Amino acid sequence: MASKTQSRQARTSSSGSRSSGGGSAFSWGGSNNAGVLIGAAVAGAAVGLAANVGRKMLVQLGAGGVTGDWFDALKAEHEATLAIFDKIEATRDDQATTRSHLLTKLKYALTKHAHQEEAVVYPALRQANLTHDADALNAEHGYVKTYLYELENMANDSPEWLARIRDFRAMLQEHMRMEEDEVFPAFRNQMNEKQNAKLTATMNKEGFKMA
Ligand SMILES: [Fe+2]
Ligand SMILES: [Fe+2]
């Protein structure tokens, strides 16, 4: 293993060998200002990262997420999803681009929502011996993906596309009703405040990854 002195010498000689060249991007010393540039780039990346974290937090905290618990947050996401359906159903057949854009938004909202439920809430349901409900809801998420797949692969400038959207909405509304009116309230009633808070924190962490 090289001593500190040896490795310092090695660095000095390597920086000396490139004195006639443009300088290594990895050099931080002397009159070479690459270090300053790298420093600025790192700072810029940090600012960009902070902005992205801020954006993710806003997405994750959204309506219902700031003061509410996991259940309130999921209900708020259900509402937001139905609002996208409202917009889609208000489009005409000649608004294909708007429909594509709204379908992308719908897919994003549903993918994030399903991830939170599948990675946190449904496993917690199974732990609480609500396995049958968790499995039934999880299977329905498979059909959510099927609807999205079909809608993405159909011509969206036709009445058939909108009819498929309406079928999808009906299926999804029944799924949401099951969660909001039956399964989730029964589950929440089994938990104490601490368990509820822990589930909220765990779910927010997963949602943050997808935000
Ligand atoms: Fe669900
Ligand atoms: Fe849900």
**What distance in angstroms lies between residue 145's CA and the mean position of ligand 2's atoms?**
14
Residue 141 lies in a domain: yes
**What distance in angstroms lies between residue 70's CA and the mean position of ligand 2's atoms?**
11
- Contact indicator for 73, 65 with CB cutoff of 8 Å: yes
Q: Which ligand is nearest to the CA of 137?
A: 1
Which two structure tokens, joined as six digits, stand for 44?
């810029």
What is the per-residue DSSP string for 91-124?
Answer: --TT-HHHHHHHHHHHHHHHHHHHHHIIIIIHHH
**What distance in angstroms lies between residue 175's CA and the mean position of ligand 1's atoms?**
6
Residue 56 lies in a domain: no
Residue 92 lies in a domain: yes
| pLDDT digits 0-9 by tens, 70-113 | 999 999 999 999 999 999 999 999 999 999 999 999 999 999 99
**What distance in angstroms lies between residue 135's CA and the mean position of ligand 1's atoms?**
11
**What distance in angstroms lies between residue 98's CA and the mean position of ligand 2's atoms?**
25
Q: How many domains does the chain have?
A: 1
**What distance in angstroms lies between residue 115's CA and the mean position of ligand 2's atoms?**
10
Average pLDDT over residues 119-128: 97
| pLDDT digits 0-9 by tens, 134-175 | 999 999 999 999 999 999 999 999 999 999 999 999 999 999
Instruction: Return d(Cα 59, Cα 32) in angstroms, integer.
Output: 42
Residue 172 lies in a domain: yes
Domain of 143, in residue numbers: 63-210
Instruction: Return d(Cα 88, Cα 117) in angstroms, integer.
Output: 25
**What distance in angstroms lies between residue 121's CA and the mean position of ligand 2's atoms?**
10
Instruction: Return d(Cα 208, Cα 187) in angstroms, integer.
Output: 23
Q: Which ligand is nearest to the CA of 74?
A: 2
Residue 44 lies in a domain: no
Which two structure tokens, joined as six digits, stand for 207?
């949602």
Residue 136 lies in a domain: yes
**What distance in angstroms lies between residue 138's CA and the mean position of ligand 1's atoms?**
7
Residue 13 lies in a domain: no
| pLDDT digits 0-9 by tens, 23-76 | 444 333 344 444 444 455 556 666 666 667 666 666 666 644 455 799 999 999
Which two structure tokens, joined as six digits, stand for 161?
């596309």
Q: Which ligand is nearest to the CA of 181?
A: 2
Residue 1 lies in a domain: no
**What distance in angstroms lies between residue 173's CA and the mean position of ligand 2's atoms?**
10
Q: Which ligand is nearest to the CA of 79?
A: 2
